[in-house]
Amino acid sequence: MINAAKEAPAGEEYVFCYLCGADNYEPILRRKGMTVVRCRECGLMYTNPRLDAESLARSYDYDQKDLEWRLKVWKRSRLVAFKRYASEIEPYRETGKLFEIGPGLGWFLQVCAERGWAVTGADLAKIRCEYIRETHGIEVHHGTLEDVFPALEAGTFDVVAAWNVFEHLRDPEGTLRIIEQLLRPGGVTVLKMPDGRALSGMEFPWYLQPLLRLYRRRIYTSTPTHHLVQWTPEHLGQLMSRCGLNLARVDDFVPLEERPIKHLREHLRQALYARLGFPYYFVAFGEKPGAKGTGP
């Protein structure tokens, strides 16, 4: 995937297209010193060049301050969404096993455990793993999915979830292939990520394009430093198919409640854009072929 033939600035690396492997692209956006390009062959949008592995790891802040900020800003709002989707994965229940990639502070795991699921996960931040263990009594592995995969029982999980994680992955196809191995036949992966259609603008009439450009700058949250690929449902579905999964469902997701209520102007602005149908996030259900499940 890394295009070693091209010399990149220090701490960065050029990559081939994550979906089709081509090296034929055009720049479409520059933000925070990074460039988002569109593949001329398949249309996938991704950061190129991107931070190399060492630089990317240094750019994340996993500390007590980050933990406290997440508790203050996100807990109540995230629980609303997690309770909804904890209910909607029930038809897939058979073994009762659920794995989450990058569980953050463990709120989705907590909600699912309260519904009787046997839950676990893996997170890069040791401080978060300790918080989940101490606060929720849930054991979470410290490391990447690739690190912990050998210790997991393949083919036994009903659900593998990843909320706001997939866009960060340096090897999304490799991750999907591991997810497919973890799932039992008929299991499902539930993935939430920013909606790359907000950057394309191709699906909107000309008279909405100026407003769409403002939306990209003021509302749409994707940051190309860490969000390495701007996934659309179409492109994600293509990658899932390659990895043995079927894109069964896509939900548009506009988390108005994720902003503190004191940011009233942001709420109103975001509500307007949602009314116009501008993409923000989407949640994708990728099923592994087989019987869905017996339910709770």
Residue 292: predicted pLDDT: 78
Question: In the chain, where are the structural domains located?
Answer: 60-195+232-287
d(CA 66, CA 253): 24
50 bridge partner residues: 13
Counting every residue, how long is the chain? 296
CATH assignment, 60-195+232-287: 3.40.50.150
**For the chain, percent of residues with pLDDT exceeding 90:** 57
Instruction: Specify whether the CB–CB gap between 99 and 159 falls below 8 A.
Output: yes
For 240-249, the pLDDT digits (tens) are: 999 999 999 9
For 56-92, the pLDDT digits (tens) are: 887 776 666 666 666 666 666 678 889 999 999 999 9
Q: How far apart are the first and last CA of the chain?
A: 42
Alpha helices in 31-125 (DSSP H): 53-59, 64-73, 75-88, 107-114
Residue 47: predicted pLDDT: 95
d(CA 159, CA 77): 22
Say which residue, 151 or 253, is predicted with more confidence. Answer: 151
Residue 175: predicted pLDDT: 97
Q: Is the pLDDT of residue 162 over 90?
A: yes
Residue 258: predicted pLDDT: 47
d(CA 180, CA 227): 23
Q: At what angle do helices 209-218 and 264-276 cross, to 10 degrees?
A: 140
Kindly indicate the confidence band of residue 30, based on its pLDDT and cuts at 50, 70 and 90.
confident
Query: Of all helices (H) and strands (E), which one includes residue 262?
Result: none
Residue 153: predicted pLDDT: 96
For 99-143, the pLDDT digits (tens) are: 999 998 899 999 999 999 999 999 988 888 999 999 999 999 999
**Is the backbone of residue 12 left (phi > 0), alpha (psi -120 to 50) or beta?**
beta
Q: Which residue, 54, 56, 58, 17, is CA-closest to 38?
A: 17
Q: Provide the Cα torsion 295, 116, 131, 175; round to 10°.
A: -30
Kindly indicate the confidence band of residue 252, based on its pLDDT and cuts at 50, 70 and 90.
confident
pTM, to two decimals: 0.89
Beta strands, E only, the chain: 12-13, 25-31, 34-39, 45-47, 50-51, 97-101, 118-123, 140-142, 157-163, 183-194, 229-230, 246-253, 281-287
Looking at residues 39-46, what average pLDDT do you find?
96
